[in-house]
Amino acid sequence: MCGRYVATTPAAVLAAYFDVDEVIAEPEGPRFNVAPTDPVPAVAVSGDGRRRLGCLRWGLVPSWSRRDDAARHINARSETALEKPAFRTAFARRRCILPADGFYEWQRGPDGSRQAWFIHRLDGAPMAFAGLWDAWRRPDGEVVRGGAVLTTVANDLMAPIHDRMPVLLEAGDWQEWLEPGNDDLVGLSSLMVPAEEGVLGRYPVRRLVNNVRNEGPELLEPDPGHPEGVGHR
């Protein structure tokens, strides 16, 4: 799963990297501890075929929902997304990319303690989380657009930490995934695989990240008390 991540890349850099045609909303500054229901950058293709960079609330509320339950839908299991009422229409029609600089995951120790890890691309490029989005109307009439991260089984790097990980799309898959008119659900489902070995790296971080109120680049500092944190840069 993915319960917290990092989004610090400036909008202009994201726009160039994801080859967007228009920036309709810029992220609210660098975030080192993105949490559920926070605003996050998102890339999607509009009805006129333009690729746009904007913002979504992290947490998808289906358009038909009677209540705001965004925090329950920050992740969607890719294996069952087409079966779940909350996600199946979005998978078929409203797909997006949620850019990230990396994500945190917690490993539970034998004594019940939890060690936070930061997972990132080894090439330093932004991650492209496969995402879904939907628009929900509040009782007061305000429309809220929210997104969910699709997850898959962990690869060998992630498996010792957690059994799930976000689906990461490579550049060659972006257009296929984003194209609203693409109804090849079998082909789209074939993209829902773990990241290839050698793409990602990991290192342990300090307990600062455990508190969702903490924010800043110090959250990415390696944990000097962990063997894999010593000497990491």
Active-site annotation, residues:
2, 105
In 3D, which of 39, 183, 152 has the Cα closest to residue 99? 39
Sequence-distant (6+) residues with CB within 8 A of 130 are: 78, 95, 97, 149, 150, 166, 167, 168, 169, 177, 191, 192
Per-residue DSSP letter, 9: S
Number of other CB atoms surrounding residue 69 within 10 Å: 14
CA distance 233 to 231: 6
